[in-house]
Amino acid sequence: MQEVSFSYLDELNDIQRQAVSCLEGPVMVIAGPGSGKTRVLTYRVAHLINNGVAPWNILTLTFTNKAAKEMKSRIEKVVGSSANKVWAGTFHSIFARILRVEAHRIGYPNDFTIYDTDDSKSVIKEIIKSMNLDPKVYNNNAIRSRISSAKSNLITPKNYVKNEELMNYDKMNRRPMTHVIYEKYVNKCLRAGAMDFDDLLLQMFRLLYQNPDNVKQKYQSQFRYLLVDEFQDTNYLQYEIIKQLVFYEGSDKNVCIVGDDAQSIYSFRGATIENILQFERDFPSVNTFKLEQNYRSTSYIVNAANEVINYNKKQIEKKIWTERLEGQKIKLIRTMTDNEEGKRVADTIIEQKNRYNLQNKEIAILYRTNAQSRVFEEHLRRFNIAYRIYGGLSFYQRKEIKDLLAYLRLTANPKDNEAFKRVINYPKRGIGNTTVSKLLQIGEEHEMSLMEVVMSVDIQARAKTKILGFVKLIQSLRQKAEQSNAYDVAVYAARKSGIIDLLKSDTSVEGQGRLENLNALLDSIKEFVENDELEAGEEATDKSLSQFLQTITLMTDQDNEEEGNDNVTLMSTHAAKGLEFKSVFVVGLEENLFPSFMALSNPNQIEEERRLFYVALTRAEEHLTLSYANSRYQFGQMRFNDPSRFLEEISEDNIDNISIMKSSGPGKSSSGRSGFGEPKLLGNFKRLAPTKTNLALQMDPKDFKVSPASSIKEGMNVLHLKFGKGVVKSVDNRNVATIYFSGVRDTPEKRIMLQYAKLQIIEDDA
């Protein structure tokens, strides 16, 4: 018998240790922020392995690849390399991996494509068009979310029609044909051999539920121990899959769910707190452990977070507490404009770095919407503070990346219509919209994919020879794919298609950037292929194209993080869940923004926004700074919002409500001409809050008067609400002015259309 050390148990507090040691039967862990949740999860897996459970009998499901990766590496630290054999991944990636083997049993090719959100939208748009419905009434996003939520609630198109509530809702919204679109959408995806994100869950459920060839028993017996992280974020469908795997006659029901109802922030994609309550009903023998001690944050922060979350009616009773010192009160920054907010936050970061010796990577700026990142970027750049933005447009969503990927998708799965449409005329080969529409129509009539159409139907089109050239190209790619790995195919595709040549011919800065991105993609494919060989273990390695495509479709930018770089983190509050930083800035705390205007009319959604705010607050270990602006550019215009209601929910005991800062005006000249109310930031001498008496020029946006376009002439000094002061270099005959804004760092010279721009002429000595 081998010697096994359980010394890791000594690193846990009583309740954590109980949760880790209770290996058999259903377990529920309610884990407050910073309460050592990940530690409990990983040690639990380690403990299972040390007690003789085979790693491949353990399945842990998380929501992000990052969480899965961290879990694996932390398990490895305790039990060594056998951690690799634990099935740890996101719901989507684990199910995709299984479907890659089993999909043929339920009518999909094993080489199925994963449609991302853009692909789904494109399919829906096409359907709406083909049905001659008004695209304004049949809003693409609205339809997509109806379909998505139907799938997440296991409502098939047939059942959708029978569901009065759904049908009435659609009628009320003047979209009675939604169910038809849903049905067509499902058929189209199936015919294209494509699964959207919801399908990865739904088809997994179908596989288990319909159980062809007793495939369900295969996975039930394999996954003897199931762990689910962030259970509060699961939707109905995800829970039903979990039940398929563990909830059956004779099962030991070894399922452990970990979550925190107070951090449930994904109801918009179907997550339901109801699952936690239902879990207790479904598994009455459940052992419940509440982790309430917070090890992360100082007590001011913990107290403030408790104050806020107490405003929510719906919650599981618990008391989060900490033994940590008081620390510092929460700081509040108030400014006149969003631009000023960016500046004050950047100032404060410099100040904190100096005073507390913080590294960039210990600091995060959290916002409600990704669109808010820009002002912070500008000001961080200005002070030479390295930063990294997460979210927004991911690398894989860039055009040049998606273009090459579309070739690869089409190679792996010729039925992939979305990929086909993307590349049939890219690079330009003279196959225009008219021809593509014709192909689409034939495809509809014969229920064929576009590739099948061009290969089998005699097309009467001028572009016929060009189409045949394209078909030949794809065939050569397929041939290549049979003999080579994903990397070689990708390089071949990039060259053969003409994409490389096209990008090379564009010598602009952007064009060069696109070429670099493409090369970066190729590098990442190479890495994928090589890593795969290294990891050769008992699972058959698969460096095929579809495997690679699956991996990256399910990957987000966050998953590519390079460790060790010292960057300030900019991300949405949603993306910050599970992370922690010494110093956190929660910005844009205004009504209509945080809480979002979308949530204002619905008390349940306000509660979700509050939980989101709670998540934001509890990311901070030592320093927490909140900010809001009285005015900001929103939807292309200046808006004036009240401070967020959430700010009032923090008592004066925990927030330093005195540090009032005011704007020094919309201009932001660093020369000091308009900004002498700002703290000096050069050299080592930094201050935190300028005192009230320190205020100088105050410029209320309301005082800003737009000068008529016709009055703006060459040589004039003008003021722009966003760019600040500028000099008009020239005005051309189309009424486009070239204006030099000295306050703008990267591209001070802007070309502005006078008929739209809001500019105020200012006197020379302003």
Partner DNA sequence: GGGGGCTATGGGGGG
Partner DNA sequence: CATAGCCCCC
Verify binding: residue 598, DNA, rule CB under 7 A.
Answer: yes
The binding track of 174-203 with respect to DNA, each residue x by CB under 7 A or -, is: -----------------------xx-----
Establish if 148 lies at the interface with DNA (CB under 7 A).
Answer: yes
What's the min distance (Å) between Cβ of 747 and DNA?
12
User: What is the footprint of DNA within residues 676-735 (CB under 7 A)?
Assistant: 722, 734
* Of 163, 315, 556, 742, the one binding DNA by CB under 7 A: 556
Token pair recorded at residue 547: 């495997």
- 460 is an interface residue for DNA by CB under 7 A: no
Are 545 and 405 in contact by the 8 Å Cβ rule? The answer is: no
Q: How many residues bind DNA (CB under 7 A)?
A: 54
The minimum distance between CB 680 and DNA, in angstroms, equals 29
Of 82 and 267, which CB lies nearer to DNA in the complex structure? 267
Is 568:385 a contact under the CB 8 Å cutoff?
Answer: yes
The reply on whether position 467 binds DNA by CB under 7 A is no
User: Between 121 and 686, whose beta carbon lies closer to DNA?
Assistant: 121
* 38 noted as active-site residue: yes
Find the radius of gyration of the CA atoms of the chain: 28
Report d(CA 143, CA 163) in Å as an integer. 16
CB of 16 to DNA, least distance (A): 26
Calpha distance 730→738 (Å, rounded): 5
Q: Least distance in Å: CB of 558 to DNA?
A: 6
Phi-psi region of 484 (alpha: psi -120 to 50; beta: other; left: phi over 0): beta
Stretch that binds DNA, among 326-334, 341-349, 591-599, 688-696 (CB under 7 A): 591-599
Binding of DNA at residue 128 (CB under 7 A)?
no
Given 18, 38, 397, 558, which residue is catalytic?
38
The reply to whether 263 belongs to the active site is yes
Q: Which of 37, 331, 361, 421 is catalytic?
A: 37
- Does 232 participate in binding DNA (rule CB under 7 A)? no
Query: Encoding tokens for residue 179?
Result: 């169910």
Near DNA by CB under 7 A: residue from 462, 680, 692, 745: 462
- Nearest residue (CB) to DNA, 481 versus 599: 599
Choosing from 186, 262, 554, 626, the residue that interacts with DNA (CB under 7 A) is 554
Q: Does 743 bind DNA (CB under 7 A)?
A: no
- Given the complex with DNA, which of 352 and 417 has the nearer CB atom? 417
Q: Does 428 bind DNA (CB under 7 A)?
A: yes
Instruction: Note whether 737 and 717 are within 8 A (CB).
Output: no
The DSSP symbol for 105 reads G
Contacts of 400 (CB under 8 A, 6+ apart): 499, 503, 514, 515, 517, 518
**252 assigned to active site:** no
- Residue 406 tokens read as 């579309």
74 belongs to the catalytic site: no
Rounded CA-CA distance 489/544 in Å is: 10
Sign of CA dihedral 749, 755, 759, 761: positive
User: Other CB atoms closer than 10 Å to residue 327's CB: what's the count?
Assistant: 18
Q: How far apart are CA 660 and CA 651, in angstroms?
A: 16
Residue 545 burial (CB < 10 Å; 0-12/13-18/19+)?
buried
Instruction: State the helix-helix crossing angle for 338-356 and 373-382, rounded to 10 degrees.
Output: 50
Among the listed residues 199, 229, 240, 609, the single catalytic one is: 229
Q: Which residue has the tokens 């960039």?
A: 360
Decide whether 275 or 322 has the Cβ nearer to DNA.
Answer: 275
Distance CA 452, CA 577 (A): 45
Determine the Cα–Cα distance for residues 601 and 345; give it in Å rounded to an integer.
Answer: 31
Selected range binding DNA among 48-56, 220-228, 421-429, 661-669, rule: CB under 7 A: 421-429
Q: 135 preceded by cis ω (within 30°)?
A: no
Query: Shortest Cβ distance from residue 639 to DNA (Å)?
Result: 10
DSSP 596: B
Cα(129)–Cα(421) distance, integer angstroms: 16
Regarding 463 and contact with DNA (CB under 7 A), the answer is yes
Binding site for DNA (CB under 7 A): 63-64, 90-93, 117, 125, 136, 139, 141, 148, 197-198, 267-269, 368-371, 391, 425, 428-435, 461-463, 554, 556, 558, 571-572, 574-575, 596, 598-599, 605, 608-609, 633, 635-636, 722, 734, 756-757
Give catalytic residues, as residue numbers: 37-38, 229-230, 263, 619
